[in-house]
Structure 1
Amino acid sequence: MQGVVATSPWAALWFLPFAVPIALWVAWSDMKFMKIPNKAVIALTVVFLAIGPIALPLEDWLWRWLHLPVVLLVTFLMNMRRLIGAGDAKFVAAMAPFFATADLRLAMALLAASLLGAFASHRGLSFVGPFRSATADWQSWHRRDFPMGLALSGMLILYLLAAVLDG
């Protein structure tokens, strides 16, 4: 039976232990500072560079490198139109090679679900006194724009988990 996710469970299991801490770092940093560190973007790219040849067939790994510049160009143009932040653009580009092209519809559905979940969670937790007090220094509580790193991180983690569970 053909799985729903094109990325194999094997590949996702290799990527998960390295991608999850970086994604959590991005989510936290974007909520606290409203910035996605370049070091996190580089770290995620290095994970794909180092783990990709182990996790994926060589040809697939090589083709997926095209995702990065294509997505970077699209998100750079979106950033120029002030639709997304520069950190978001770079992080999305670094995430892109982890996704199989065949999973574009799944990726968009996961982005929508992650965005809704992240928005509801972030806004909901702002009303929980003890949590709000413990995170009073987070810039995301005081700014109008939303920490998209939270939603993007959720998207990446959910995609890799979906690939594992699909196997």
Structure 2
Amino acid sequence: MALPSYAALWFLPFVLPICLWVAWSDMARMKIPNLACGALVLVFLVVGPIALPLGLWGWQWVHLAVILAAGFVANLAGVMGAGDAKFAAAAAPFVPLPDAMPVVYLLAAVLLAAFAAHRAARALPALRNRVPEWESWTRRDFPMGLPLAGTLLFYLILAAAL
């Protein structure tokens, strides 16, 4: 991993609750709060200069702009929700460019696992009845905040461990 393990360890305690909030909110309301995306950006703004060399930290902001532009186009095309695009953009600075493809592979794996787990939980009354008000139980579309947040968390955990 290109992200130094010490940087991942700096980011994890702050990113973890935000990712849990995003996943929960998207499953419950099919919305990712703008405040959560802003909080993630704020974590990178404040913790980033401590966790990363300043040159790398500065260049990582380009990732936010690129992914936000791509997400905007994907949203206009109806391929991705606006909250998903904003969260992906907010998460992008945490991933150095050499780790982009491994993160795409990780996203694919987490997406498959999250989809299977969500659909299985939705089909089991014992689990579904624990939070019957969740919108994601009845909607055809899938709460992408779950795998997006999971991918960022797993990436940071892997980077911290390697």
Same fold (TM over 0.5): yes
Please list every run of 5 or more consecutive structure 2 residues that lacks an aligned counterpart in the other structure: none
| Structure 2 CA distance for aligned equivalents of residues 160 and 99 of structure 1 | 9
The Cα of 1:11 is off from its aligned counterpart by 0.2
Shift in Å at residue 128 of structure 1?
A: 2.3
Please give the alpha-carbon distance, in whole angstroms, between the structure 1 residues aligned to 2:33 and 2:101: 28
Structure 1 unmatched ranges of 5 or more: none
- How big is the alpha-carbon RMSD for the aligned residues of Structure 1 and Structure 2? 0.6
1:1-20 mapped onto 2 (5 Å cutoff): 5-20=1-16
1:97-118 Cα shifts (integer Å, max 9, x gaps): 0001001111111110110011
Q: Pairwise mapping of residues 33-112 of structure 1 onto structure 2 (< 5 A)? A: 33-112=29-108
Alignment of 1:133-148 (within 5 A): 133-148=129-144
Select 2:157's aligned residue among 141, 161, 164. Answer: 161
Count of residues in Structure 1 that have an aligned counterpart in Structure 2 = 162
1:32 paired with 2:41, answer no
Output the TM-score relative to the length of structure 1.
Answer: 0.96
- Of 125, 128, 131, 1:129 maps to 125
Identity of aligned residues (%): 54
Give the whole-Å Cα distance in 1 for the aligned partners of 2:134 and 2:23. 12
Counterpart CA distance in 1 for 2:136 and 2:123 is: 13
TM-score when normalising by structure 2:
0.99
Paired position in structure 2 for 1:113: 109
